[in-house]
């Protein structure tokens, strides 16, 4: 599957500069077309076509009205699309997270690993058809017990781990890690996308990037490495094969 990549920028020159990133390299194997939209009106007009499974790169200097409006326009049409904010200057990440247009990825146009991160975002989009077709409640994860109530976009959730504080677990998302009062045994049965891979870890299968059998590790799509218990290797491997074969997954195994 290939994608139409939309580059939205208020500054035409910066947008064109970013477009050059798609002229060569591994990104091209995942890209069908690159479209540069250099005004809010053009973005709005493009979104009326209701494009599916897109990747949007919003290029901006400051977290200003333009960037926020573009993100909200995209989210209104497609709440699962991958939106990457590409800054030409440093930006306050918390302002972006609090804007409530997540999930978002944020990096600078000058990052040394920019091309790798572009490829990561494009690969993340390969999971979107599976998420849309197989998850109930619009792709959201809901969990509630006597102590907490969670409501998160399923694609945001990477994994859960036992916390340092007794009776708590860490919820690790694309943007944060927060400790909540819950048990991993409660979490693993809360959504069919979750699997327990270790006594201390439950992972969200669609967010696994690679399974390394020799190291008994999972590489998540946010770069974190999760250990797999030896006794769980066969079960985790079978779940990945099932995901790749029947649910549109693209998880690597080595």
Give me the CATH number covering residue 212. Answer: 2.40.50.1020
Distances (CA, A) of 8 to 38, 132, 218: 6, 24, 34
Judge if 112 and 41 occupy the same domain: yes
Phi then psi for residue 179, to 5 deg, are -90, 135
Q: Which two three-digit tokens encode residue 94?
A: 């918390």
Whole-angstrom Cα distance, residue 16 to residue 14? 5
Domain coverage including residue 59: 3-126
| Whether 135 and 100 share a structural domain | no
Nearest to 205 by CA among 232, 161, 162, 237: 237
Answer with the one of 63, 94, 126 that is the final residue of a domain: 126
Last residue of a domain, which of 74, 105, 126?
126
Residue 241, H or E segment:
helix 233-246
Residuewise pLDDT in 10s, the chain (254 residues): 677 788 888 878 888 888 887 776 666 667 778 888 888 888 888 888 766 556 788 887 766 677 778 888 887 777 667 777 777 665 544 444 333 333 455 555 555 666 666 776 676 665 554 444 444 444 677 777 777 777 777 777 899 999 988 889 999 987 678 888 889 998 898 888 899 999 999 999 988 888 999 999 999 888 899 999 999 999 999 998 888 887 656 677 88
Whether residue 145 is found in the same domain as residue 115:
no
User: d(Cα 247, Cα 184) in Å, to the nearest integer?
Assistant: 24
Q: Find all residues with CB under 8 Å of 146, minimum gap 6, and list them.
A: none
């Amino acid at each position: 599957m290939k994608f139409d990549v939309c580059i939205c920028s208020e500054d035409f020159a910066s947008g064109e500069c970013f477009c050059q990133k798609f002229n060569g390299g591994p990104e091209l194997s995942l890209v069908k077309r690159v479209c540069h939209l250099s005004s809010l009106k053009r973005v709005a007009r493009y979104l009326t076509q209701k494009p599916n499974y897109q990747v949007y790169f919003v290029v901006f200097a400051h977290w200003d009205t333009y960037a926020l409006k573009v993100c909200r326009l995209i989210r209104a049409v497609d709440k699962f699309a991958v939106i990457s904010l590409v800054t030409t200057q440093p930006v306050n990440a918390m302002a972006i997270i609090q804007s409530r247009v997540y999930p978002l990825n944020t990096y600078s146009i000058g990052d040394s690993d920019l091309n790798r991160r572009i490829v990561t975002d494009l690969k993340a989009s390969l999971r979107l058809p599976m998420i849309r077709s197989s998850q109930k409640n619009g792709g959201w994860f809901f969990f509630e017990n006597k102590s907490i109530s969670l409501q998160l976009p399923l694609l945001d959730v990477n994994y859960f781990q036992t916390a340092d504080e007794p009776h708590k677990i860490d919820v690790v998302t694309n943007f944060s890690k927060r400790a909540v009062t819950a048990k991993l045994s409660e979490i693993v049965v809360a959504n069919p996308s979750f699997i327990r891979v270790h006594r201390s870890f439950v992972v969200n299968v669609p967010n696994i990037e690679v399974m390394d059998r020799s190291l008994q590790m999972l590489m998540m799509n946010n770069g974190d490495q999760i250990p797999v218990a030896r006794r769980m290797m066969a079960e985790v491997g079978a779940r990945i094969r099932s995901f790749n074969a029947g649910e549109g997954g693209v998880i690597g195994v080595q």
